[in-house]
Amino acid sequence: MPDWLIVFLVTIGYLMLSLAIGLASGRRASTSTEGYVAGDRSLGFVVMYFIMGASVFSAFAFLGGPGWSYSRGAAAFYILAYAAVGLVPWYFFGPRVAALGRKHGYVTQAELFGHRFQSRSIPAILAVLSLFAFIPYLVIQMKGAGYVFSVVTEGRVPEWAGSAIAYGVVLLYVFRSGVLGVGWTNTFQGIFMMALAWGLGLYLPWRLHGGVGPMFDAIAAELPDMLRGPGLGADGQPWSWGAYSSSVAISALGFSVWPHYFMKIYTARDTRTLKRTVVFYPTFALFLIPILFIGFAGILAFPGVSPADAILPTIVTSAEIGLPPLIVGLFCAGALAASMSTGDALLHGAGSIAVKDFWDNIRPGTLDDRARRGWIRIMVIVVGAVAYLFALIPGLSLVNLLLLSYGFIAQLFPLTIATLLWGRVTREGALAGLVAAGAVVVLLNLIPSLAWGGIHPGIYGVAVNVVVMVLVSLATPPMDEAHVRQFTRR
């Protein structure tokens, strides 16, 4: 049997196992919308830890991370910086959000804001903003799956087919099982990825350079700029500290308010589970370290790989490394696990948001609970199809796509803090801040030269968001004090 076929069969076996876990786990949930979206608020610490942690191990981390360390050196360390602190805000606002969710029946992020500001337009706008951010993030996962299938089968399975195979499986278990399918498959995939990351991250530098230390010594001697912070920009020139630090900041601000993450606050069994998840979550960043080692290992040993995001599968399948096909198949499965463990949460979140936050606010009262659950499932398929079409576009960087998404989604952070802490913020102020910030982010992404010092467009958006929100809120009548107090009271 040819090696590529063994690799392919191992990968398909992994996909079938993930599908079986995803389908079986959905049997525990009720048939209500709350059961499909929030898992009947029953998830314990282990599943919460992995459902959040495995989201870090996306195709962005497994392929884009090594791609950046391979092509841009120390610039990739920004990933470790924001992953370590991204969930800290949950420790402070998470318990209050969870309590409000139980009291008022929220299952999405925008339901909280819609109720707080007594507005149907704000959840609808947030739904559009979220979907704009979700599509690039989903494209990352699909392109990653396509890369892996294409490289490990020596081009016999093209990228478009690899993406379709992997996300066909994801669509099936998300469609059937909702958040419980996402949670239990992420637990399985997270454990699998941890073992694979450290195995490859230590073996490949040893195989190519004699160890991690000798690898960095060799890079420092031949290409010292690759190890000199803040690393290189996309043009190969030194990245500015403004660009580096603003990438860390925008990612840290956006991380805790990603709608598909935020929704998981409502799934926690209790406050203790939520806080334990936050405290232990940074340990997942430890498993990003060996992933970056792999990219560094290829700098001198495999020059000229293009696109850079393909460096990990290129090394693993090279004759120089000589890994047996079974191990290569497990690598392929691990990379797919990274892609799927984020993609399933995104698809589930996107379908829920499109129906609960957009449709239910522009056409209130037109769907009963059963119809709502059915339309969420349909939107899971629609959003997946749209992302798949974008994934067919060549030449898109996985990390750059992620940073684009964070620029939009970070605009929810000021709104979240104001919702829970500042009683004077008004409906008009919140809406004006979001619209102004979104316009700034779009403008600066279209014309990057307007962003001084290479600072991420999302940072300018956050600054404009806060200023406009405060000024408009102070210029408009305050909202009913009794209503506001239930959100701001400690």
228-256 core/surface letters (b: 16 or more CB in 10 A; e: else): eebbbeeeeebbeebbbbbbbbbbbbbbb
Same-domain pairing of 251 and 366: yes
Residues 33, 51 contacting (CB under 8 angstroms) = no
Helix (H, G, I), strand (E, B) or coil at 153: coil
Residues 326-345, mean pLDDT to the nearest whole number: 75
**Res. 209: pLDDT tops 70:** yes
Within this chain, do residues 381 and 473 fall inside the same structural domain, yes or no? Answer: no
Q: What is the mean pLDDT of residues 132-155?
A: 77
Which of 407, 437, 461 represents a domain boundary (last residue)? 407
Interacting residues of 217 by C-beta distance below 8 A, sequence separation 6+: none
Q: Domain range spanning residue 455?
A: 411-490
Quickly state the pLDDT bin for 250 (edges 50, 70, 90).
confident
pLDDT at 432: 92
Are both 376 and 399 inside the same structural domain? Answer: yes
Residue 400: predicted pLDDT: 61
| Residue 477 shares a structural domain with residue 446 | yes
Is the pLDDT confidence value at 198 over 70? yes
Q: What is the pLDDT of residue 221?
A: 92
Q: Into how many domains does the chain fold?
A: 2
Q: DSSP labels for 13-44?
A: HHHHHHHHHHHHHGGGS-SSHHHHHHGGG-B-
Are 403 and 419 part of one and the same domain? Answer: no
Contact 78, 248 (CB under 8 A): yes
Give the CA angle between residues 66, 253, 36 to the nearest 5°.
Answer: 85
**What gap in Å lies between CA 372 and CA 360, rounded to an integer?**
9
Claim to verify: residue 314 and residue 422 sit in the same structural domain: no
pLDDT digits (tens, 9 = 90+) for 275-322: 888 888 888 777 788 989 999 999 998 988 887 877 887 888 786 777
Q: Taking 70 as the threshold, does the pLDDT of residue 181 lie above it?
A: no
CB 142 within 8 A of CB 387: yes
Give the C-alpha separation, 269 to 44, whole Å: 6
Q: Which of 375, 392, 407 is the last residue of a domain?
A: 407
| pLDDT band (50, 70, 90) for residue 158 | confident
Question: Mean of the pLDDT values across residues 58-86?
Answer: 81
pLDDT reported for residue 33: 61
Which of 40-54, 222-236, 407-421 ranks highest by mean pLDDT? 407-421
Task: Identify whether residues 396 and 435 lie together within a single domain.
Answer: no
Residue 473, pLDDT score: 95
User: What was the pLDDT predicted at 433?
Assistant: 92
Structure tokens at 352: 């829920």
Is 403 in the same domain as 458?
no
* Nearest one of 181, 189, 190, 133 to 345, comparing CA atoms: 181
Residue 53 has pLDDT above 60, yes or no: yes
Predicted confidence at residue 296, as pLDDT, reads 93
Residues 443 and 391 in one domain: no
- Write down the pLDDT at residue 220: 92
Does residue 444 share a domain with residue 376? Answer: no
14 Cβ partners below 8 Å, 6+ apart?
329, 330, 332, 333, 336, 337
Q: What is the C-alpha to C-alpha distance for residues 291 and 274, in angstroms, rounded to an integer? A: 27
Mean pLDDT throughout 107-125? Answer: 87
